[in-house]
Chains A and B, each alone.
Chain A
Amino acid sequence: MLRAVRGGRAVWAPRGGSGSGSGGAKLGRPLRTAAPQRSDIFRELGPRLSRLGQALRGQLPESEGAWNSLRPHQNSPPPPERADVVVVGGGVLGWSVAYWLKTLENRRHGMRVVVVERDPTYSQASTVLSVGGIRQQFSLPENIRLSLQSATFLRTINEHLWVPNEPPIDIQFQPSGYLFLASEHGAATLEAGVKVQREEGAKVALLSPSQLKAKFPWINTENVAVASYGLENEGWFDPWSLLNAFRRKAMSLGVYSCVGEVTSFVADTADNTPGMPRGVGRVKYVNVRLPDSPEQQPVSCAIVVAAAGAWTGKLLDSATAGLQGSLTLRRLPIEPRKRYVYVWHCPGGPGLETPFLIDTSGAYFRREGIAGNYLGSMSPPEGREPDAGNLEVDHDFFQEEVWPRLAHRVPAFRSLKQVKSAWAGYYDYNAFDQNGVLGPHPQLPNVFVLGGFSGHGLQQSPAAGRVAAELLLHGSCAAVDVGRLAPGRLWGSEPLLEAAIV
């Protein structure tokens, strides 16, 4: 006992001694001058509790823990049984339509929009595998207007897609312009296109070969007759940021996102509904197959938006296969076409001013970052289309077709040894006229087709989504007249040809 008291005194003695012994001079000193010898329970309580909380939160299945990163679809809820609009395909076009439907609806939460995506990792989606360019150099006024509106949207993207309490959206837009080169026999087409583009308000300059050489000294201007160079609103951006921004904003506005595959439509046709005219049908349900299970969930809906990108044609084929007895649907000519993209490093290549260059031969390239990396490819010639079944890259195609053309145009690329990396992606190719299809299906009036943009779907997605939403909600679109893009033309005799398809 005594020892304990002594021990206590011994601990406290210096503090009391210094206070009483040396008087007022040392009163200002803090009570404890040395570091604490033992661990302080109260000091460590805070960090320990927060660590415990973190560990607990990591175990919860809803959090961004181990569950989410490996199997992103496991936590996605099944689709609701009733919806107003089902958007098939969660690519950038699908999410854009969903966002605009929710933005333009006249009453908050007045409409239930469901986006059904087959592959939440987007491993084969055209959106994220694209090169990400945006241009106004088209020959059709509709395409130019859609692209101009999209550029305005992308410029003010934070006014549209910013979600409170989130960091601002940066789509990393590189305003470097597109440079189209035309040989002698393509010059007239190019000039006619530039005339239309200027009438629509795009800023495009025509360059002669000598002006071209002065502006970009690294170009070989052999057999170039004229070039057109986009001065504003053209360049490239990060597709993944745009897709994510659309998705996040749409979900914050109340769009249902679910993982699954739309397998079939259940429709009213002339056989099972009295009063229905022959040859047309009306979709009542879509059946959604949940991932990793044979279970199917019917979702009743008023409108289906078919925005499945390259698989839009296949979707309509397989989903309406059950209806074949009563309603024979004409085939939609939208199919996947495989396109390669190669990345190479060239230390002495074109500098910071490099535009998105499109050669007279159809090969293209652009700069990637500032460290001397380039990215480019070309579309294979007709008749040599690769098999679209998988996404394997044909490296010989670069050596035999792409590289000779680019090295001829840019002599600095002659020293190129090998490709750094490469990938393949799908074009949602409209085999009829290589142009977007935007409008209700003629035989299924409540199925809205949105696809077939043949490589310019990403850049036109903000405006195309808005146009589609306005057509669905108001029946007309004031900003862009897209009557000519309706799917009815696909089975007619007059293709709506676009001259500037890369």
Chain B
Amino acid sequence: MAAALAIRGLRGGRIPPPPHPTGPLRGAASGALQRLGEWFYEVEVVLGWAERLRRRRLRRKNAHYSFIQSLHGHNVAAACFAMSCGGRVRFEGQQRWLCADSRGRWSPEVLQFHHVPVVAVDLSGSQLTYDGLDNFVLLTKLQHLDLSGCPHVDDWALGRLHVFGDSLQELSVARCPRVTERGLATLHQLPKLRCLDVGGLAVQSPGLLRILLEEMLPQCRVLGMEMEEGDPPEAPPELGQPPPLCDSAVIGGRVVPKWH
């Protein structure tokens, strides 16, 4: 048992394997198809078609809601997009999150928030891509954005978050398999950021990266990138409650001696 755990730790560890462009392999059938594709051109062509179909579906899911935007404004369009992605939104002055029901339908009450800005968007686990961010770039008062667990959010998409530089305070990119330290470096464009969740990312040296992130964003609390496995996980920050500022010098002093 211990050996099995050790092997698992050795293999998986904190760095998950790089994502496949076709998404996670689905079961044995997909694996068998992959093997057959190495031998037969026909299977390879079919795999190529399936891949193209998957991309087209993804593109359609991330389409720009320009019709709703022209009718009801960009706030409602962003809310509709987020809800149809399976996410949820919160408008200014509301305590309630709006989301779609189990069958993917959302109530038309969202249309009454024509002139109310969206302040929080939770898209965790959705199929959001770079193109899907088209629906959000006009939001000027967005304070909370949760992109955790989005399999298609990559460094290019993070480079686009600079449009929220004047407002965004809390951001989570935890467990996004395509986000690396290269994309995180662009977050210096968000000077108002107070809390950043980067847990479970596929980066080479989380300890060093955490120090660099804290130097880059001195006002911001960086969560989820502890250097040691044994560190107790910090409690996730409650929304609307200002997280305490953290002192980068203390953390720098704590981590650096272990490297020498």
Contact = CB atoms under 8 A, between A and B. Distances in A.
B209 interface: yes
- Chain B CB within 10 Å — which of A155, A175, A233, A235 has the most? A175
A466 B28 CA distance: 39
A44 B215 CA distance: 56
A411 interface: no
- Chain B CB within 10 Å — which of A174, A176, A232, A370 has the most? A370
Contacts of B186: 175-177
A432 interface: no
B185 A164 contact: no
Given A164-B44, A164-B48, A165-B44, A370 B212 contact: yes
B30 interface: no
Interface residues of A, number: 25
B73 interface: no
A217 to B, nearest CB: 10
Contact of B185 (A168, A176, A233, A371): A176
A343 B81 CA distance: 46
A370 B182 CA distance: 9
A431 B16 CA distance: 49
A172 B182 contact: yes
B158 interface: yes
A174 B182 contact: yes
B109 interface: no
B209 to A, nearest CB: 6
Tell me the dominant secondary structure on chain B's binding face: helix
A432 B67 CA distance: 49
B155 A175 contact: yes
Interface string A151-184: 0000100110010110110101111110000000
Contacts of B47: 164-165
B51 interface: yes
Interface residues of B, number: 34
B64 interface: no
A175 B212 contact: no
B130 A155 contact: yes
B134 interface: no
B55 to A, nearest CB: 6
B185 A353 contact: yes
Contact of B162 (A162, A165, A172, A231): A231
A410 B44 CA distance: 53
B216 A353 contact: yes
A351 interface: yes
B140 interface: no
B160 interface: yes
Given A158-B21, A165-B34, A231-B162, A174 B185 contact: yes
A214 to B, nearest CB: 8
Given A175-B158, A232-B160, A352-B216, A164 B51 contact: yes
A168 B18 contact: yes
Tell me the dominant secondary structure on chain A's binding face: loop
Given A158-B21, A231-B162, A353 B155 contact: no
Contact of A352 (B48, B160, B162, B215): B215
Interface string B206-237: 00110011011000000000000000000000
A466 B20 CA distance: 27
Interface in A219-243: 231-233, 235
A96 B155 CA distance: 24
Nearest to B38: A165
A164 B22 CA distance: 10
Contacts of A352: 181, 184-185, 188, 212-213, 215-216
Contact of B156 (A172, A175, A177): A175
B66 interface: no
B55 A173 contact: no
B158 to A, nearest CB: 7
A159 B44 CA distance: 15
A155 B237 CA distance: 33
Given A172-B182, A175-B183, A371 B208 contact: yes
B19 interface: yes
B12 to A, nearest CB: 18
Interface string A447-490: 00000000000000000000000000000000000000000000
- Chain A CB within 10 Å — which of B156, B183, B213 has the most? B156
Given A155-B156, A175-B159, A167 B18 contact: yes
A421 B172 CA distance: 38
A103 to B, nearest CB: 13
Interface string A175-197: 11100000000000000000000
Contacts of B183: 175
B189 interface: yes
A215 B158 CA distance: 18
Interface string B139-162: 000000000000000011011101
A198 B34 CA distance: 45
A215 B213 CA distance: 15
B19 A168 contact: yes
A166 B162 CA distance: 33
A201 to B, nearest CB: 13
B182 to A, nearest CB: 4
A165 B37 CA distance: 7
Contacts of A159: 55
Interface string A346-360: 000001110000000
A175 B182 contact: yes
A173 B20 CA distance: 17
11 contacts: A164-B44, A164-B48, A173-B182, A174-B185, A175-B156, A176-B182, A231-B189, A351-B212, A352-B185, A352-B213, A370-B209
Interface of A: 155, 158-159, 162, 164-165, 167-168, 170, 172-177, 215, 231-233, 235, 351-353, 370-371
Given A167-B20, A352-B185, A370-B212, 14 more contacts: A164-B48, A165-B44, A168-B19, A168-B20, A173-B182, A174-B155, A174-B182, A175-B183, A351-B212, A351-B216, A352-B212, A352-B213, A353-B188, A370-B181
For the complex of A and B, the 8 pairs showing the least CB-CB separation, nearest first, are A175-B159, A353-B188, A168-B21, A174-B182, A352-B185, A352-B212, A158-B21, A352-B216
